[in-house]
Structure 1
Amino acid sequence: MFIFLKVMSKISTGIITLITLTFSIPSFAQNNPLAKDSAIVKAGKDVRFTVLTPRVIRMEWDSTASFTNNASFVVVNRNLPVPKFSSVRKGDWLTIRTEELELKYRVNTGKFTAENLSVKYLKQKKDGFTWRPGQVEKANLKGTYRTLDGFDGDTDKKGKKMKLEDGLLSRDGWHLLDDSQSFLFDKSDWPWVTQRHAGNVQDWYFMGYGHNYKAALADYTKIAGKVPLPPRYAFGYWWSRYWSYSDNELRDLVSNFEKFNVPLDVLVIDMDWHSTDSINAKPDEFGQRKWWTGWTWDSGLFSNPERFLKWTDSKNLKTTLNLHPASGIAPFEKQYGEFARKMNFDTTSRRNIPYEGSNKKFVQNLFDVVLRPMEKQGVDFWWLDWQQWLEDKQIKGLQNTWWLNYLFFSDMERNRDTRPMLYHRWGGLGNHRYQIGFSGDAIISWKSLEFQPYFTNAASNVLYGYWSHDIGGHMFKDRDGGTLEPELYTRWMQYGALSPVFRTHSTKSSVLNKEIWNFRGDYFNAQYDAIRLRYSLVPYIYTMARKTYDTGISLCRPMYYDNPEKQEAYDFSRQYQFGDDILVAPLATPLVNGFAKVKVWLPAGNDWYEWHTGTLLKGGQTLEREFSIDEYPVYVKAGAILPMFGNDVKNLSDNPDRIKLGIFPGGSSASRMYEDNGNDKNYSKEYAYTAFKTGLQQDGSLKVSISPREGKYKEMKDSRVYELTLYGSRMPADVMVNGKPLSYKADDLNSEGWNYNGRELSVSIVLPQSSCTEQAEVLVRYPGGTHTDINNGIKERFKRLTKATTELKFKEGRSLVLPNMLGKTEETNRQLEYSPEKFEELIRTFNENYNKMPEIIKPLGLKKETESWYLGYLGLGG
C-alpha cells in the first residue's frame, strides 16, 4: 500500500503533484448536490419539489424561501437523470406523477401538513397506500446501533433491550427521510461542516417503494452515495487482540500462523502500541485508566517501528493501529513541538493541545504532522475508536463519531493512491460511505452469538453492510472472569467466516487465547476449515462486494429482500443470504449428543444444496437439520457456480494464477467473477468480469463454458489455470476440454487432468493454463443407464460412519476386531476412487449395509450404552 508513498518521498514536489493528479477524483468531489432544473417543480415562493427517481421525491418548505442546494451529511447527490414525470396544476392543487408515485399539494398553503400534502403509491394495488405528514411507520424493518459495548445479546448490563434505529425499509412500503436538521457541507476543496441558514424548514425525502426493497436501497445510493468497495485484503482474516504485544511477540505470532498454514491478511494492533498520559490519571470505578490517547510508539515494545512495519509489509500483512483522539496532543508526544508551532499554541504551560475536530487547521495538522508520517512508514489504515463525549465542543449537535469518520476517510481519498478504508463505529445515516464498522465490546455468550446475525442483517437496511464484530466475544459478563468455551468459540468462528469482516478480538485477559493452535481435535479442525472456507470464497465475496458498490445490496442481507411477500422471510430474522447464491442459517445452540439442531427456511424457486452434508433439499419448506461441530448450515442454490480460490492461498495481496469454480448439483446456471487491482482507487472504471455457464445436455452430460474475460485493470494477469469442482457428482465416463479428452489421474492434480474424490463425492478437473481472452468449454460425460441418487446425504453418512467407527475402537477400553462387512462399508469412499468402474455397485451396497448396521455390529458384543451411542450417531436409533 505504501510503496508508492515511499517512492514519492524521493521525487521532487512538482512531480508529486503531477502524479497525484492522475488518480481518480475523491468520491465527495464527484457528488453533485445541485439537481437539474427540469427535475424541480416550484409550488409558491416557499415550497419546491424535486423528482429524483420514480420512487424518491424531495419535498422542501423553507420559511425564508432560500432553499438548500448544498450537500448534507446524508444526501450528497441530487444531480440525477430526470425520471419521466408529469406536473399538473388544477385550481389550488398541484399533482406530480411518476411511474410509481402521485404527489398532491395545495399550493400557497405553506408548511406541509396532513391537510395540504399526500403521496399515493401507484404500482402495488393490493398493499398500496396513501401517505400524509404525521403518519407513523408501523412496520419499520430497523437499521443499526452505534455499538454492542456491554450487551449480552440484545440486553445491556442494566437489563434494557437494545433499540435499533429505524432503517430505510418498512413493510408499510414507504419511508420519510427527514433531512431538516442535518448539517451541510460547504463547497471548499475539502468540504467542511457548515450549518443551515436561520429559519424554519422542512427538508424531506419521501421514499415510496412498496415491497421492492432492493430498488429503495439502490435509490438511496443515488442520493446518499455508494458504499465504497473495500480493498480485497479486507475480506481475509484479521488477527486482533487487546494485548501489549511487542515486536518480538508479533513476529512469533505470525510465525505460528505460517507454521500451522493459517492464512492471514490484517494485523490489528490495539492501543498499547503507543504511550498514554494515563500514568498520572486516576483510575475509573473499574480500575481502568481514563486516558486512552497516544500518538507515539511505545519504545519499550517497538524499538524501531519503521523496521517493524517493513517486516509486516514483507509478510504481505496490512497493519492498522488503534486511535483514541479525544485528549488531543500531550506534551510528552514527540510531535508536540511541531504541532504546537503550527497551531500557534503556547507551550509554556506544558498542557495538552486540546482536540478540536471541527477546526480545519487542527485536523489538517493532525494528519500532516502526526498521522501521515506513520502512514508513510507503513501503517495501512486506522482503527478509529471514539468513546468520549458525543458532540463537538465548538459546534452544537455535531456528532464526533460521524464527523471523525468523514475526516479520516476523506483525507485518505485526498492523499493516497491506495483505496481508502476506515475501521470505526457507526455514527448515523451517511456513514455507509466510510465502510467498515467496529461493533464494540460484546459479552462472551451464546446470547451474543445468537443476536449478531440479526444485528448484521438489519444494518444492511441503512447500507451499513460491513460490520466487523469481535468474533468470539470481547469480555466475560462477570468481570471476575470466565473460561473460553471451545464449542462456543468454534461456532462463532464459523459464523465469522460467513460474516462481512472476519476479525477475532478480545479484551486483555490471559484466558482469552483465541489463536487456533491453542485448540485441539475437532475444535481445531473446525476452526481451520472455517478460515479456509472464508479464503476459498473470497472471489465470490469480492464479486458480491462489487455488487454492493453498484446496487447498495449488502453481502449479508435479510431474507425479505428476495422474498418480501413471504412471512417466513421476516420470521427467520437471523437467517441470511450471503451474496446471491448462498444461504446461511447460523447456529447458536450447544451440541446435544454430538449434534446441534437448527430450523431452516428454504425459499421456493429453486432447490438448495446443503454443502457440508451433501444433501439436495427442495425449496419452499421449513425443516429441522442437525450438524456436528465441524459442520455448518450453509446452503447453495442448486446449480450455482461459485468462483473460488484453492487451499494454496496464503493472503489476498494478489490475484492468484489459479481459480476454482465450485459447480453445485441441481441444474443449469450462469454467473460471473469480478476482478480489479485489489487496492487502487480506480476500480469504478478499471475492472474485469469473466462469465461462466453450465448446461445439462440431452444425454445427461454437463457442459461448462468459460467466456473470455472482459475489461481491463492495472497488473491484470494474461493467463490462468481453472480448476472445476463438481460437487455431488457421479463418476464421469470421460471429460473433454475444447473437444479434446482430458486424462484421468488417480492422485496428483497439480497439472491438467481430472480425478474423483470419494469422500466429498466430487469431481476435480484441472484445465490447461490458457489465455484469459480465450473461450474454454468442458464437457463431462456420464455412463448411461440408471443411477443411484448421491445427493441425499450419503456424503454425511460416509463421514458419520468413519468418525463413529474410529471412535468405537477407543470407546470400550478393549481391543475390538471389527467385522469385515463393517470395514468394507466404512471404506466405500476410498473404494470409489480405487475402483471407479464399480461406482454404482459400491453406492448401492453402501446404502444396503448402512441400514443393516444394527445387525452387522452385533457380533462385537458391545455394551448397551456403546451400541446405543454408535447407532444414534449414525442416525439409526439406538
Structure 2
Amino acid sequence: MEVLKYQTENDHLLIECRKGVMKIIPYTESIIRIRYTLEKQFGKKESLFVEPNTQQSIHFSVDENEDTIFFSTSKVRIQIKKHTAAFTYMDASGNILTKEPKQGGKTLVPTEVIKPVYDNNTEIEHTHNVDGARAKAAPAKRVVDRIAYHTKLEFEWSDDEALYGLGSHEEGVLNLRGTHQYLYQQNMKAVVPVLVSTKGYGIVVDSYSMMKFRDDLHGSYLWTDVDSEMDYYFMYGPEFDQIVKNYRYLTGKAPLLPKWSFGYVQSKERYKSQEELISIIKEYRERQIPLDLIVLDWRSWTGDLWGQKSFDPDRFPNPTAMMEEIHQLNAKLMVSIWPIMSNDGPNHIEMKQHGYLLGNQANYDAFNQEARNLYWKQTNEGLFSHGVDAWWCDCTEPFEADWNGEVKPEPEERLLINTNEAKQYLDPGYINAYSLLHSKGLYENQRQTTDRKRVVNLTRSSFAGQQKYSAITWSGDIAANWKTLRNQIADGLNMSVTGIPYWTLDIGAFFVANKEQWFWDGDYEDGCDDLGYRELYVRWLQYGAFLPVFRSHGTDTPREVWRFGEPGTIFYDTLVKYIKLRYRLLPYIYSVAGWVTHEDYTMMRPLAFDFRNDLNTYDVKDQYMFGPSFLVNPVTDPMYYDSGSVEMEGVPKKRSVYLPSSSEWYDFWTNQRLHGGQTIKAKADMETMPLYVRAGSIVPIGPDIQYTSEESIEPLEIRVYTGKDGSFLLYEDEGDNYNYEKGEFATIPIHWDDQNNRLTIEERQGSFSGMKTSIDVLVTVINGMEEEPGKGDQKKIKYTGEQKMVTFK
C-alpha cells in the first residue's frame, strides 16, 4: 500500500495511498487517533463512546527521509514507511513500542450489510428458558442496506510482551499472547475493545460490531466485522495507570458509586415477597453479620408479564412502606429489570404503541433516545418512585440463542449462533453496543430525576465507555466448580485492565447442581448441605471480599451465611470473619474508590500493573493487587472435601504465592516480613486466604460495623507497614449523592518517613456536610517482629484537621 503523497493540516496528517486514505490525529500528546478509508472522504458517524471535545490543539511535527515519514508529538512518534504505509509506534526517545508487519498492517475488505425487514404480518414466537424470556421473529424479507468493510489491523508483537484486556470472557486467560478471542456479547462474555500492553501502550478500537483478536498461527491482529472505515486510538502510558487515565479521558470518567455499594450484597434466585426480603435483613441484623444491600431478582412483576417494571401487588402490597422499612433497617434494595417485555403488560403495550420495540416486538430499542426515556419513565413510576435504590440490568446482551441443549456448542458455532441472532434485530455494525446505550439511558435519566441518590447499575454486559454510566459488570451465570473459580480471577483482571473499574461475580456461582443443559454444570447436587460446596463457597467469598463489589448470588441452593452452618462451625465463622474484614477495610476501599473517580485509578490490578519491570508477573493469573497495598491470593483448589461431602486426606493446606520483586511483603495474618522476587508456600487452611501487604503501605482500618453508614466511637486505625516511604490519600464524602461533583469532599494526605519512623497526617483538604471535625486515630506501626496484626507499636492521637506528626522510636 504505497504512499503517494501526504499533507499537513491544522490538526492532523493526511496520507494518500495507492489504496485509500489515512488520517493521523493527535488528541493529546499521548493519544493518537488513526483512521483509514477506501472511500473518497471519511465518514461523519459520531462515536458512541468517545467523549465530545476530547481532541486538544496539539503541536505535532512531520518529517521525512527518502523512504520514511515521521509523525511526532512530545510523547509519541509514528514512523510510516512510504513503500508499504507500515506503521512503527515509538516513544519520544525512539524506543519501539510496537509495529505493523513490514508489508503494512491495515486491510479493508468490502462486505454487504444485510438488513432484515419486518411488517405487520411478522409472526412472533415467545419462549422462556433459564436465562429469561425470549422472542423470535422471522423477517418478511432481507435487503442490502449498504456496503461496509471488514477491517483488519495487524501487529508484530514482541516476544517479551504481554497483552491484556478485551473484557471478561469465560476461558480464564490473562495474558492474551498466543491465543485468540471472539468479541461478541453473550451471557458469560462482556466485551471491551481495549488492548493493553506491558510495552506501555494501549489500543482502543472504535467499532461496535463483532470482533476477533488473534495471536496464533493465523496471524496477530484485531478484526472487525462491519465498519464504514478503520478507526482506532493509540494510547501511550507507559505505565498502566497512565494508559487507563488516557482511556478515561477519551471515553469518560467513572462516577463514584455510593458508599453502601462497597458493603456486602446478599442475593439469590430468588426472594419472592416483601416479607421474605425484610425477614432476611432482620436475620442479618440479629446475627450481627454486616449487610448493606439485598437484591430482588426476576419476577417482581405480576404473573407472566415479563419485563414489567412494577411490583406484584399480591406479594409486594405496599412497596413504599417496604422501602421505608428496608431503609430503617439501614439496608438498600436492588431490583432486577429487563430490556425485554412480553405478554402485553402495560410497559410492553406502551412501548409498542410508541413504536419503540425492535423487530421481535419485545426488546425495546436502546439506540433510540426517546425509547430510553420511556424506559426510565416506566422504571421511575413503577419502582424508583417507591424508593428502590439500585438496578440490576439483567440480560443486556439480549439476543443470545445458544442457551439450550445438552452439549455446549463449539466456540465458532456459538459465535455464529449468537451473532446471527443479534443481527436479526440490530444493525450488524452495532451488535456489541446495546448494553452501553441501555446503561446510558438509565444513568442520564436518573441523574435528571434526582442528584440525591447515586446511580448503581449491575449489568451482565459491558462496552468501552460504559464506566461513565455507573455500571458494574458481573460475569454471568457461571457454574460451581473449582475450575470456574480459577478462571474467574483472570477474567476479572482482563476487564479491569481495560479501564472498566467495577467488576464482580456470583459468589458461589449461579448454577450449583448438574442438570441436562450444558451450562447447568455445577458439581454439587446437595447445594449448601454438601461439605464440598461449603468449602468452595468459603473460598469464593474470601476472594469476593477483595473484589470491587462483594456480592453473593445463585440458584439451586440458598446463599445466606447461616445456610452454611451455625456459629462455632468453621464454615460459618470463616464467612463472618471475611465479611467483617471487608467492613473494617472500608476506609481503605472507599478511599480507593474515590481515587477511581478523581484520579482515574484502578482498584483491581493485574500484577503487571504495579510490577511491569518484573517479567515473572506477566503470566500470574491467580494473584492480583487490590488497591496499592494488598496482594490477594485466592485459594482455587479443594483441600478438605470433594463433592458429595467426601473427605480428602493428605492435602497440604498451602498454596504457592509469588511475591513480586522490588518490594518487601508482610503476611497480613502474622506480620511476618518477606523478601520479594520469590515464590513461597503460604499457609492456606480454611480460615486463611493468603494475603500480603506491600512494604511502605499505609492502610486505614475502621471499627467493626454492621452497615457502611453506621457511626462508631471506636478510633480509626492507621496501620503502617514499614520498610519503605509511603503515602495514602484518605477520601471521605457524604456517601450517596453527587455533591462531591461540586467539590464537597475531603481528603487527608498521610505520609510515612521510613528513615525517621515518622507518620505525618497532613492538614485536611476540603469539607462536606456532616463531616466529623475530629477523629480519634490509633497509629500502628508494623515492622515484621510482631506476633499478630495490630500488635505493633501503637500511639493514640486526636486528629482535628490540622497537621499532626507521630514519631516512633
TM-score range, shorter chain: 0.7 to 0.9
Report the counterpart of residue 648 of structure 1 in structure 2: 705
Match 2:394 to one of 376, 385, 388? 385
Match 2:674 to one of 617, 621, 631? 617
Structure 1 residue 306 and structure 2 residue 320: aligned? yes
Instruction: In structure 2, list runs of 5 or more residues that go unmatched.
Output: 1-8, 107-153, 174-178, 183-187, 211-225, 401-421, 517-524, 641-649
How far apart in 2 are the matches of 1:360 and 1:74? Answer: 15
Structure 1 residue 473 and structure 2 residue 530: aligned? no
Report the counterpart of residue 722 of structure 1 in structure 2: 777
Cα deviation for residue 320 of structure 1 reads: 0.9
**CA 1:175 to 1:144, structure 2 compared with 1: closer, same or farther past 3 Å?**
closer
Is the contact made by 1:672 and 1:692 (CA closer than 8 Å) also made in structure 2?
yes
Match 1:761 to one of 791, 795, 809? 791
Report the counterpart of residue 812 of structure 1 in structure 2: none
- Once the two structures are superposed, residues 543-577 of structure 1 have per-residue CA deviations (whole angstroms, 9 ceiling, x without a partner) of 22232234544211111112223221113122101
| Paired residue type of 1:119 | T
Cα deviation for residue 766 of structure 1 reads: 3.6
Is the contact made by 1:516 and 1:527 (CA closer than 8 Å) also made in structure 2?
no
| Paired residue type of 2:285 | E
Match 1:483 to one of 527, 532, 550? 527
How far apart in 1 are the matches of 2:191 and 2:353? Answer: 43
Superposition pairs of residues 386-401 of structure 1, within 5 angstroms = 386=395, 388-389=398-399, 391=422, 395-397=426-428, 398-399=430-431, 400-401=434-435
Cα deviation for residue 635 of structure 1 reads: 0.8
Superposition pairs of residues 196-595 of structure 1, within 5 angstroms = 201-208=229-236, 212-277=239-304, 292-328=306-342, 330-333=343-346, 339=350, 343=354, 355-386=364-395, 388-389=398-399, 391=422, 395-397=426-428, 398-399=430-431, 400-417=434-451, 418-434=453-469, 435-479=471-515, 481-484=525-528, 485-507=533-555, 509-510=556-557, 514-515=561-562, 518-519=565-566, 520-591=568-639
How far apart in 1 are the matches of 2:553 and 2:257? Answer: 20
Structure 1 residue 179 and structure 2 residue 206: aligned? yes
How far apart in 1 are the matches of 2:353 and 2:781? Answer: 64
| Paired residue type of 2:62 | S
Give the match's secondary structure for 1:241. Answer: coil
Is the contact made by 2:565 and 2:571 (CA closer than 8 Å) also made in structure 1?
no
Is the contact made by 2:193 and 2:464 (CA closer than 8 Å) also made in structure 1?
no
- Once the two structures are superposed, residues 218-242 of structure 1 have per-residue CA deviations (whole angstroms, 9 ceiling, x without a partner) of 2212212222222221111101111
| Paired residue type of 2:105 | P
What RMSD, in angstroms, separates the aligned Cα atoms of the two structures?
3.8
| Paired residue type of 2:90 | Y
Cα deviation for residue 762 of structure 1 reads: 3.5
Give the match's secondary structure for 2:164. Answer: coil
| Paired residue type of 2:800 | S
**CA 1:200 to 1:501, structure 2 compared with 1: closer, same or farther past 3 Å?**
closer
Report the counterpart of residue 711 of structure 1 in structure 2: 766
Structure 1 residue 48 and structure 2 residue 20: aligned? no
Give the match's secondary structure for 1:450. Answer: helix
How far apart in 1 are the matches of 2:273 and 2:369? Answer: 35
Cα deviation for residue 332 of structure 1 reads: 4.5
Structure 1 residue 97 and structure 2 residue 152: aligned? no
Report the counterpart of residue 118 of structure 1 in structure 2: 87
TM-score normalised to structure 2 length = 0.74
User: Higher relative contact order by CA 8 Å / sep ≥ 6: 1 or 2?
Assistant: 2
Cα deviation for residue 91 of structure 1 reads: 8.6
Report the counterpart of residue 142 of structure 1 in structure 2: 164
How far apart in 1 are the matches of 2:729 and 2:13? Answer: 42
How far apart in 2 are the matches of 1:525 and 1:489? Answer: 13
Cα deviation for residue 578 of structure 1 reads: 0.7
Is the contact made by 2:31 and 2:234 (CA closer than 8 Å) also made in structure 1?
yes
Give the match's secondary structure for 2:496. Answer: helix
**CA 1:504 to 1:609, structure 2 compared with 1: closer, same or farther past 3 Å?**
same
Structure 1 residue 666 and structure 2 residue 723: aligned? yes
Is the contact made by 1:294 and 1:325 (CA closer than 8 Å) also made in structure 2?
no
**CA 1:567 to 1:145, structure 2 compared with 1: closer, same or farther past 3 Å?**
same
- Once the two structures are superposed, residues 101-152 of structure 1 have per-residue CA deviations (whole angstroms, 9 ceiling, x without a partner) of 3334589xxxxxx81242331457676544342433546623255665999x
Match 2:61 to one of 72, 86, 101? 86
- Once the two structures are superposed, residues 169-225 of structure 1 have per-residue CA deviations (whole angstroms, 9 ceiling, x without a partner) of 134655544426679xxxxxxxxxxxxxx995332323355x633322222122122
Give the match's secondary structure for 1:142. Answer: strand
Q: Which moved more, 1:649-658 or 1:308-317?
A: 649-658
Match 1:133 to one of 96, 101, 105? 105
**CA 1:300 to 1:58, structure 2 compared with 1: closer, same or farther past 3 Å?**
same
| Paired residue type of 1:232 | K
Report the counterpart of residue 873 of structure 1 in structure 2: none
In the comparison of the two structures, how many residue pairs are matched? 668
| Paired residue type of 1:415 | T
| Paired residue type of 1:412 | Q
Is the contact made by 1:148 and 1:440 (CA closer than 8 Å) also made in structure 2?
no
Q: Which moved more, 1:514-523 or 1:483-492?
A: 514-523
- Once the two structures are superposed, residues 396-453 of structure 1 have per-residue CA deviations (whole angstroms, 9 ceiling, x without a partner) of 1333333322222232233330322211022333333333012111111111221221
| Paired residue type of 1:567 | L
- Once the two structures are superposed, residues 244-286 of structure 1 have per-residue CA deviations (whole angstroms, 9 ceiling, x without a partner) of 43222222211111122111111111113222427xxxxxxxx
How far apart in 2 are the matches of 1:382 and 1:669? Answer: 38
How far apart in 2 are the matches of 1:452 and 1:402? Answer: 23
How far apart in 1 are the matches of 2:227 and 2:289? Answer: 60
Is the contact made by 1:149 and 1:440 (CA closer than 8 Å) also made in structure 2?
no
Cα deviation for residue 767 of structure 1 reads: 2.7
Whichever structure has more helix as a proportion of its residues is: 1
Cα deviation for residue 647 of structure 1 reads: 1.0
| Paired residue type of 1:252 | S
Give the match's secondary structure for 1:571. Answer: coil
| Paired residue type of 2:491 | F
Is the contact made by 1:641 and 1:662 (CA closer than 8 Å) also made in structure 2?
yes
| Paired residue type of 1:248 | E
How far apart in 2 are the matches of 1:79 and 1:759? Answer: 47
**CA 1:226 to 1:91, structure 2 compared with 1: closer, same or farther past 3 Å?**
same
How far apart in 2 are the matches of 1:344 and 1:586? Answer: 49
How far apart in 2 are the matches of 1:534 and 1:118? Answer: 48
**CA 1:427 to 1:377, structure 2 compared with 1: closer, same or farther past 3 Å?**
same
Match 1:601 to one of 645, 654, 658? 658
Is the contact made by 1:226 and 1:552 (CA closer than 8 Å) also made in structure 2?
yes
Give the match's secondary structure for 1:448. Answer: helix
Give the share of equivalent positions with the same residue, in percent: 23
**CA 1:715 to 1:89, structure 2 compared with 1: closer, same or farther past 3 Å?**
farther
How far apart in 1 are the matches of 2:616 and 2:232? Answer: 33
Highest CA radius of gyration, 1 or 2? Answer: 1
How far apart in 1 are the matches of 2:795 and 2:706? Answer: 19
Give the match's secondary structure for 1:778. Answer: strand
**CA 1:214 to 1:692, structure 2 compared with 1: closer, same or farther past 3 Å?**
closer
**CA 1:517 to 1:100, structure 2 compared with 1: closer, same or farther past 3 Å?**
same
How far apart in 2 are the matches of 1:421 and 1:234? Answer: 8
Cα deviation for residue 675 of structure 1 reads: 1.6
Give the match's secondary structure for 2:637. Answer: coil
Cα deviation for residue 360 of structure 1 reads: 3.5
Cα deviation for residue 498 of structure 1 reads: 0.8
Is the contact made by 1:384 and 1:422 (CA closer than 8 Å) also made in structure 2?
yes
**CA 1:562 to 1:760, structure 2 compared with 1: closer, same or farther past 3 Å?**
closer
